[in-house]
Amino acid sequence: MSIWEYANPKKFMQTSAWALPWVAGLAIILLLGGLIWGFFLTPDDYKQGSTVKIIYLHVPSAMMGVSAWFMMLAGSLIWLIRRHHVSALAAKAAAPVGLTFTLIGLVTGAIWGQPMWGTWWAWDPRLTSFLILALFYLGYIALWEAIEDPDTAADLTAILCIVGSVFAFLSRYAVLFWSQGLHQGASLSVVGGDQVDNVYGAPLVACIAGFVLLFLTLVLLRTRTEIRSRRIKALLARERRV
């Protein structure tokens, strides 16, 4: 039995129906646990005060904002190479979720930045890159919406996703080149450096895991909806023909 069997819409619907409650439940537990732990059971930072606690929303959503795009890229490649409808629909389903995470990342960043840097918005490389990423999401979603034929839409958005990835990546480096930033370094990293303290680290990891599962839940739900709406369309078309 190969992994591609799950790309069959029917099989996918069965498997995802079984998996969804578990994924969703685990997401709720981790998010509630991580956020309560982070917000109420950790000390204030000696420099940043309680403002620092927005990190539990800011960092995971920013990470998922980027990861969702990578997932869309994978889905697009699978669609173009193997023509599995589920992967195209999963990429379509992930886009608004990824955009939302990106926007949450930007908004929480602004709320955090205001007391820290004294401004809601700075043209900092990281912030700017995320703003550009949000624009790429918007274009991708708009293209899906604009094209009527579902297979043509899947083809064109997949091509856009691949080319867009390259340009998003290029923009990231162009923006780094363009301005040196105010933004602090990576919050979590294996190699060490200017990262957050352990007190904040453990709940942060829980929150990140929770966000990953939340993302998975939303994408599974939305993919199921997409599959169902495709079936409704097919049924309506059949009705018209009989």
Partner 1 sequence: MIALLMRDLRLAMRAGGGFGLGLAFFLMVVVLVPLGVGPEFAVLRRIAPGVLWVGALLACLLSLDRLFALDFEDGSLELLATAPIPMEGVVAIKSLAHWLVTGLPLTLIAPVLALLMNLAPEGYVWLVVALALGTPALSVIGAFGAALTVGLKRGGLLLSLLVLPMYVPTLIFGTEVVKRGAVGMELGTPLLFLAGVTLASMALLPIAAAAAIRANLK
Partner 2 sequence: MDMVATNLAVARGGQRVLEGVSFRLTPGEVLVLRGANGIGKTTLLRALAGLQPFEAGKVVADDMAYAGHANGVKAMLTVRENLGFWAAVNGVAEVEAALTALDLVTLRDRRAADLSAGQKRRLALARLLVSGRMVWLLDEPTVSLDAASVALFGAVLRGHLVRGGSALIATHIDLGLPEARETDLTPYRAVQRLDGAFDEAFA
Contact 93, 225 (CB under 8 A): yes
Q: How far is the CB of 181 from partner 2 (least distance, A)?
A: 46
With respect to partner 2, which residue has the nearer C-beta, 116 or 153? 153
The packing angle between helices 125-146 and 85-117, to 10°, is 150
Shortest CA distance to 64 belongs to which of 116, 100, 91, 30?
Answer: 100
Strand, coil or helix: 49: strand
CA distance 17 to 13: 6
CA distance 141 to 40: 38
Residue 171 sits in the site that holds partner 1 (CB under 8 A): yes
With respect to partner 1, which residue has the nearer C-beta, 56 or 144? 144
CA distance 118 to 99: 26
Q: How far is the CB of 86 from partner 2 (least distance, A)?
A: 9
Binding-site string for partner 1 from residue 131 to residue 170, where x marks contact by CB under 8 A and - marks none:
-x--xx-xx--xx--xx-x-xx--xx--xx-xxx--xx-x
Q: Which does 9 bind (CB under 5 to 8 A by kind): partner 1, partner 2, none?
A: partner 2
Q: For residues 33-56, b (16+ Cβ closer than 10 Å) or e, as one string?
A: ebbebbeeebeebeeeeebbbbbb
Q: Which does 186 bind (CB under 5 to 8 A by kind): partner 2, partner 1, none?
A: none
* Choice from 53, 85, 172, 224 touching partner 2 (CB under 8 A): 85
> In the chain, helix, strand, coil percent, each to 5?
80, 0, 15
Q: Which does 236 bind (CB under 5 to 8 A by kind): partner 1, partner 2, none?
A: none
Longest dimension (CA), the chain: 73
* Choice from 5, 145, 151, 197 touching partner 2 (CB under 8 A): 151
* Residues facing residue 45 across a β-bridge: 49
Q: Identify the burial level of 221 via C-beta atoms within 10 angstroms of its C-beta, where 0-12 means exposed, 13-18 middle and 19 or more buried.
A: middle
Q: Which does 79 bind (CB under 5 to 8 A by kind): partner 1, partner 2, none?
A: none
* Choice from 1, 177, 198, 238 touching partner 1 (CB under 8 A): 177
At 180, list the tokens. Answer: 């040196």
Q: Which does 170 bind (CB under 5 to 8 A by kind): partner 1, partner 2, none?
A: partner 1
| Candidate ranges 21-29, 118-126, 146-154, 159-167; the one touching partner 2 (CB under 8 A) | 146-154
Which residues contact partner 2 (rule: CB under 8 A)?
A: 9-10, 85, 149-151, 227, 230-231, 233-234, 237-238, 241-242
Which residues contact partner 1 (rule: CB under 8 A)?
A: 132, 135-136, 138-139, 142-143, 146-147, 149, 151-152, 155-156, 159-160, 162-164, 167-168, 170-171, 173-175, 177-178
